[in-house]
């Protein structure tokens, strides 16, 4: 099985939906009659993207709105405060039927930036661990120092006598804290009882610290193995130690999404993964309802007229896929290919996420939802579900570990929300290496088009260097381009084939079949 594509060349000047420009948009495209999941994986790692069976690549240094391929790293992903709000809002609605007050519009376009609280929450367990270690070390040093000073004064004594000395020290400290004047000492001589501090000894601590230490010693006497740790936890400020000891670690994405609902929940909710194929009975049976939802969404959210969102357009745009389904034994249980992830509420579909499952990633294609449920922020919710789904697939297929969100357009405010799913990377448009988005943003503030790879000597590692090895499908025969070009006399043909080779790279040009008529 090989991919069969028909290259259509460069398109310039058609309508741009990001900046409403009639000119300035530029991209190269091809029709994919069929395509393997590995070929499409390699293509999107070179900046390509599909819409139905049409696969296109923006000409980044010419287009009005440069579109950078963005991917999230789900294995390190931690939901932000705004993400958690969306998940909790969904749970409250399902459990109690509660509808959050305030802005009921969907939130996929402009979620808030992660706050400092979110960053602290991510490292909460580490902060607690370090605080405990530091306090235990300080406690150990204080105990050693106190025991040594007592041994110098009285020699070896029993544990009971040490406790008595601590009580006497406490009484003296309480007097000092009460405001009684202390007598200064010009020479280091032992003062009379009650007349001042002994400068030959370590400075006295506050009464509160003495009481803590005395209680600590008592607990150590009763339970030498675990009392110290238990006491330490009880003495920590409540802000660092929440009432539930097991809540030190922030809740995982799965904990927030799959939190169990009560038996008396107000709504029944289910997410189904359906292969995009009219041969699949579940896809076929839900097609009518799914199409009706698409029409409602396009007309309400994108103000499309009815004649532009018919069944033909829906099928071509979101149900036709060039990807050949594959089910290798080492792959995920659902297999590779194109799917509709349907969100069912009380027996009806309220949202559909169109996704591709590829060898290294889950690629988000499109989302449409019922505008009546915009208050649930289904754009954000579906993205979080798809990130969790990627993590689930990774458990069986370790190499499948990324979530591709399509294009990030820094110059378009409506498309910048994708950068909030951290950690994430942007694809360098010249060398096709992934660069953390934090390193890219300063450059994008200064220029729409940027080369993210900071190495000026770096080049495209899979650039076309041997175009004669490119595979051509011509007159029902497969041949290398070196053979094919000898039969051609049109000079424009060579320019088109070489342009195609440079865009898809050497690997794909040798593996895919370029259809020429």
pLDDT in tens, 224-255: 554 444 434 334 344 444 444 455 678 899 99
Q: Report the mean per-residue pLDDT for the chain.
A: 82
Q: How far apart are CA 323 and CA 276, in angstroms?
A: 10
Task: Find the mean pLDDT for residues 208-236.
Answer: 59
Q: How far apart are CA 353 and CA 274, in angstroms?
A: 10
pLDDT at 127: 29
Tell me what percent of the residues of the chain surpass a pLDDT of 70. Answer: 74
pLDDT: is 184 or 67 the higher one? 67
Rg (Cα) of the chain, in Å, rounded? 33
pTM of the model as a whole: 0.73
Q: Quickly count: other Cβ atoms within 10 Å of residue 339's Cβ.
A: 27
Q: What is the pLDDT of residue 227?
A: 41
Rounded CA-CA distance 174/167 in Å is 11
456-472: per-residue pLDDT in tens?
999 999 999 999 999 99
**Residue 346 above 50 pLDDT?**
yes
According to DSSP, the residues that pair with 27 across neighbouring strands are 11, 58
User: What pLDDT shows up at residue 158?
Assistant: 44
Portion of the chain with pLDDT greater than 90, in percent? 65
Q: Can you list the alpha helix ranges (DSSP code H) found in 372-467?
A: 378-396, 437-446
């Amino acid at each position: 099985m090989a991919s069969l594509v028909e290259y259509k060349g460069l398109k310039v000047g058609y309508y741009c939906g990001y900046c409403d420009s009639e000119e300035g948009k530029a991209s190269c495209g091809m029709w994919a009659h069929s395509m393997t999941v590995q070929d499409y994986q390699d293509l999107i790692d070179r900046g390509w993207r599909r819409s139905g069976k049409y696969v296109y690549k923006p000409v980044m240094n010419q287009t009005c709105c440069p579109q950078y391929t963005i991917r999230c790293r789900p294995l390190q992903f931690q939901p932000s405060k705004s993400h958690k709000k969306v998940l909790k809002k969904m749970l409250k609605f399902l459990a109690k039927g509660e509808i959050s007050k305030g802005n009921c519009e969907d939130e996929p376009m402009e979620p808030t930036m992660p706050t400092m609280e979110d960053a602290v929450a991510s490292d909460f367990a580490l902060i607690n661990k370090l605080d405990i270690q530091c306090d235990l070390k300080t406690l150990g040093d204080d105990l050693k120092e106190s025991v040594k000073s007592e041994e110098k004064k009285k020699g070896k004594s029993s544990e009971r006598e040490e406790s008595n000395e601590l009580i006497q020290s406490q009484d003296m400290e309480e007097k000092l804290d009460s405001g009684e004047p202390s007598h200064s000492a010009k020479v280091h001589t032992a003062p009379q009882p009650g007349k001042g501090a002994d400068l030959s000894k370590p400075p006295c601590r506050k009464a509160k610290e003495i009481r803590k230490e005395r209680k600590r010693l008592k607990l150590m006497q009763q339970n030498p193995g675990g009392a110290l740790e238990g006491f330490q936890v009880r003495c920590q400020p409540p802000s660092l130690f929440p009432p539930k000891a097991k809540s030190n670690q922030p809740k995982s994405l799965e904990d927030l999404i799959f939190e169990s609902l009560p038996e008396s929940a107000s709504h029944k909710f289910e997410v189904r993964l359906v292969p995009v194929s009219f041969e699949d009975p579940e896809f076929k049976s839900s097609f009518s309802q799914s199409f009706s939802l698409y029409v409602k969404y396009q007309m309400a959210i994108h103000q499309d007229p009815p004649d532009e969102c018919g069944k033909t357009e829906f099928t071509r745009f979101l149900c036709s896929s060039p990807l050949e389904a594959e089910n290798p034994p080492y792959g995920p249980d659902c297999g590779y290919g194109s799917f509709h992830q349907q969100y069912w509420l009380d027996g009806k579909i309220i949202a559909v996420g169109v996704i591709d499952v590829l060898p290294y990633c889950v690629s988000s294609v499109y989302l449409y939802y019922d505008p009546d449920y915009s208050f649930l922020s289904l754009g954000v919710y579906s993205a979080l579900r798809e990130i969790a789904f990627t993590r689930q697939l990774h458990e069986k297929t370790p190499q499948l570990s990324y979530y591709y969100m399509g294009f990030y357009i820094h110059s378009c405010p409506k498309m910048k929300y994708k950068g909030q799913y951290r950690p994430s990377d942007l694809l360098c448009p010249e060398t096709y290496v992934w660069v953390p988005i934090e390193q890219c943003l300063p450059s994008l503030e200064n220029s729409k088009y940027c080369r993210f790879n900071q190495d000026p000597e770096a080049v495209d590692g899979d650039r076309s260097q041997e175009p004669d090895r490119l595979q051509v499908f011509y007159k029902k025969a497969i041949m290398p381009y070196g053979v094919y070009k000898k039969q051609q006399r049109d000079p424009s043909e060579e320019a088109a084939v070489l342009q195609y080779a440079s865009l898809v790279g050497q690997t794909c040009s040798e593996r895919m079949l370029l259809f020429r008529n």
